[in-house]
Structures are given as structure tokens and as C-alpha cells.
Amino acid sequence: MEKIKAEIYRKTDEMRMRNLMGIMTLTDRISIESYRHLVREGKNGEDTVEIWTDAFNAALRDHQTVAIPGGDIPYYIDGTIIVPSNRCIVCEEDTVIRQTIGTEIILMRNENAADGSNMPMVRGNEDVNISILGGHWEESYTSRLGYRKSGKYDNTETFMGVSTLMFFSNVKGLTVRDVTFANTAGFSLQAGDAEDMWFERIRFLNCFADGLHINGNTENILIRDVKGHVGDDIVALNMYDWKNSSVNFGPMRTVLCEDVELDEASGYKAFRVQPGQYKFADGSVVDCTAEDIIIKNVRGMISYKLYFQTPAYKIGVEEPEWGGVGSGKNLFFEDITVDLAHPIDRFDGYENSDPVRGNMGVFEIGANIQNISFENINVTLHYDKYPMSYLLTVGPKSSLIGDGLETEVFDPYLSSSVGNVVLKDITVNGKKVTDYSDIVKTVKFSDINSDGRSTGEGIIENISVC
């Protein structure tokens, strides 16, 4: 396992150096001020402002590196900035690029962004060597709007599963550093079908959905020093996802994610890793696996979700969205502190410690994982209020909602298995763990919804404590 970790560090560092070298080759530089003649007047709510959309797109068509000076007045954008290959946007510390009020489409995407939701992506025309360095990139919202209401790919919703401020798909060599996102109603950044992605020193100010939303068919990812306030997962590694949340499905391999801190005021304190199985339009199935991933030095979260989940469905009336338990191997969680003060999802079954449905864990697995390691994990569990709290749960989940408890939130019919679990330097309520029997739970359901599709089981083949 230590050799595998060392290889993840080596590959992600080599990727970082490749991206740096790519940025250094972009010597054709221009200031956006040289394109001021393309600025036009437009509306931002009731105010008349300067609109820079055309200027940004022209500068990026013509030059490799575009410098955006700072100042007191934002650069207002009322459309989508298109970024071709071999481009770098460099912003000063006080540069603000702000989407105009009422704009419902994405602020930025790469030129050859592609939709991989109906069939596997065919590589060959991907964009390469794109970097965004610095700047405040903002929407003008005050709450989360929901899918297909903001951050759409375009006004005709050509790509249904896009809901973000920045979108990158079909790209190799993407760097986003020293960037602040603010007031985003959807995801701040969504990416997939990509190789060599480096995100560092990312900040979120008053954002309302996921921060970094990374989807499938991705490889060599470095995420480092990510902090701030979001309304959902600050980092979501969703190799599988719902159709309204992704257009990129497939494996995710070689990820180093470290130094992540969620603001205490954030409403949803979760970190998501979601493997699963996805069916393309022709009926072929891809296993969206999670492989060779290190998640290290994370603060502010109370839940780490590693389970497949479909959208909620009405029992006996609706069929769950098609999908299946995903797989993974060589997952490492290190240097993490968690106070499980309450359930991440405040459903009655958890709040009232339902004897069948009320199990909750800091780490919840609903996938077929070969090897998973937890090292230097410090957990507080509140047994007095939530006696069914655990460090780790494996197996299906179930919560019923609605006036008649007719809607199932999770997928209690799914079974999963973990081959090998390593617990090293684990502390629970101030005591070092030597016996895992009280902190690890395998969950088993037997037709709990009386619908013929609510029987599932979690299995752990081996656990070692050191």
C-alpha cells in the first residue's frame, strides 16, 4: 500500500510539472485593455454597465496569454467565455469577473467541450494546456437555484447535465490556481473526461452548491489548499453521477486531494466520492471506478460518502434511475478530524435512531472496494444522542420521506463488499482504537420497504488495526 501511495504522489507531481511547463510556453501575451473597443453597454439588473464578453472572447481567440488588470469595477460578462487550447488567463489579486444578473448560462468553458452522457467520449480533438490563474469569478445569486435554472451549458440546454459557473470537458492539461469563486448558485467548477488537472489555492465565498465537482473518465488530478463556504460538497469526486449533474461518466484514477477546509457556516458538511455503474444510450455499461485516491488533511466535514445513490423515487410507483454499485481500489484517507455532532442528512430514521435504518457513519461505503485505508483519523461520536453512530458503515442505506413515507431517498436493494480495511492510529472519543467491533458496522436489510426491492447487505472480508 505504501508503494501505491508513493506512486500517486509521483504521478500527480509529474503532472503538475507538465502543466507548469505548458504554461511557460505561452509567451504571446496581451492585456484585455487592448480590446476595450469591443466593450459595449448592457444591463446588470437596473444598472447600466460595461459588458466585456466580446472583448474576452476576441482576446482569447487572438492570443495565448490574456492579462486581466484589477481595479474597483468588475468585468461584467453576459455570455460564455470560450477558451481554446494553449491559453492562459492571468488575473491580478483584485480582479473581479462577474456574471450579469439574470444570466442563466455558464460563464466559461473550453472550446471543444463535449457531451459524454450518451456514448463514451472519443478522444482526438481535446483542448490542451488551459490555465486560469487568479481572479474573483462571480455570479450574482443569493441562493441555490437548482439544476437547469442556472449554470446551463447554453440557452437550449444542449448538455443537460451541466450546472456550473466554469465547465471543462474533453481537455488535457487544465490548471486553476489562486482562484476565488463567489455567489455561485450551481457548482463553481465542473469538469470531466479530462487528464492532468491541477487545482490549488481555491477559495469559495458564499457559494450555494458544490465547489469542485469532478466527474468521470478522469486521470491525474491534484487538488490542494481548498477552503471556504459552500452549500453542498466542497469537493465532489463523482465518477458516477445523476444525469442532471454530469455529462462525463467513467473511471477516475490517480487523485491527490489534500488540505481541504470547510467553513463552519457551510450548510452541508460532506465530502463525496461516488463510484457507480452507468448505462449509455446503446445499452453498454461503464463501471465508474475510483482508483488510487489519497484524501488527506481535511477539516470541517462530518460525513464522507462513498456510496452509489439514485434520485429519490416513490415506492411501488416509480422505478429508480438505472445504475449499479460501483467499484474501487486503493483509497487512502489520512489526517482527518471529524465531530459527528448530527446526521449529515437530518432524516427521522437517523435523528430517532431507527433500529433498522438509523445506522450512520463518518465514512459510509456502498461500493465494492478492494483496499481502503484510514490513518490518523480523530473522531468524536455522540453515543448519548445517536447510539447508532460509527466510524465506518458498509452496506445499503434507507430513508423514507413524504407525508405517507412513500418516497425512498436511497437504494436499500444494493449490496456491496469491501475486501480489505486498514485502521491505523484511529482515535474515537479521545481513545486510541485497538478493537474495531464497536466502531464498524455492516448493514443488512431484508425487504424493509415490503416492495420486493429493499433487500441488501454490506460485507467486510478483512479488517486490520494497527
pLDDT in tens, 127-172: 999 999 999 999 987 666 666 667 899 988 789 899 999 999 999 9
Query: Averaged over 337-348, what is the pLDDT?
Result: 95
Q: Which residue type occupies 335? A: D
Sign of CA dihedral 70, 64, 257, 412: positive
pLDDT in tens, 62-121: 999 999 999 999 999 999 999 999 999 999 999 999 999 999 999 999 999 999 999 998
Which stretch of DSSP H or E encloses residue 60? Answer: helix 53-62
**What is the per-residue pLDDT for 8?**
98
Euclidean distance between CA atoms 464 and 466, whole angstroms:
7
Q: What is the dihedral of CA 414, 415, 417, 423, to 10 degrees?
A: 70
pLDDT in tens, 8-52: 999 999 999 999 999 999 999 999 999 999 999 999 999 999 999
C-beta separation of 244 from 220 below 8 A: no
User: Rounded to an integer, what is the distance from CA 117 to the centroid of its chain?
Assistant: 17
Q: Which residue type occupies 311? A: P
Strand spans (E) along 206-308: 212-215, 218-228, 235-238, 252-262, 270-273, 276-279, 285-288, 290-299, 303-307
C-alpha cell at 132: 486560469
pLDDT over 70, % of the chain: 98
pLDDT in tens, 212-262: 999 999 999 999 999 999 999 999 999 999 988 899 999 999 999 999 999
Question: Contacts for 339-342 with beta carbons within 8 Å, 24 or more apart?
Answer: 339/302, 339/379, 339/380, 340/302, 340/303, 340/379, 340/380, 340/381, 340/382, 340/386, 340/389, 341/302, 341/380, 341/382, 342/302, 342/386
**What is the per-residue pLDDT for 146?**
61
**What is the per-residue pLDDT for 143?**
66
Distances (CA, A) of 448 to 59, 152, 319, 454: 60, 39, 17, 6
Neighbours of 41 (CB within 10 A): 8
**What is the overall mean pLDDT for the chain?**
95
Give counts: helices (H), strands (E), the chain: 3, 35
pLDDT in tens, 178-211: 999 999 999 999 999 999 999 999 999 999 999 9
Task: Give every CB contact of residue 395 below 8 A, 6+ residues apart in sequence.
Answer: 365, 366, 415, 416, 442, 443, 444, 445, 456, 457, 458, 459
**390: nearest Cα among 351, 363, 420:** 363
Euclidean distance between CA atoms 81 and 149, whole angstroms:
19
pLDDT in tens, 304-328: 999 999 999 999 999 998 999 999 9
C-alpha cell at 15: 503532472
Q: What is the dihedral of CA 271, 197, 74, 32, to 10 degrees?
A: 180
C-beta separation of 303 from 313 below 8 A: no
Burial 103-140 (b: 16+ CB within 10 A, else e): bbbbbbbbbbbbbbbeeebeeeebbbbbbbbbbbbbbb
Q: Which residue bears the cell 454499485?
A: 325
3 state SS of 18:
helix
**414: nearest Cα among 453, 380, 357:** 453
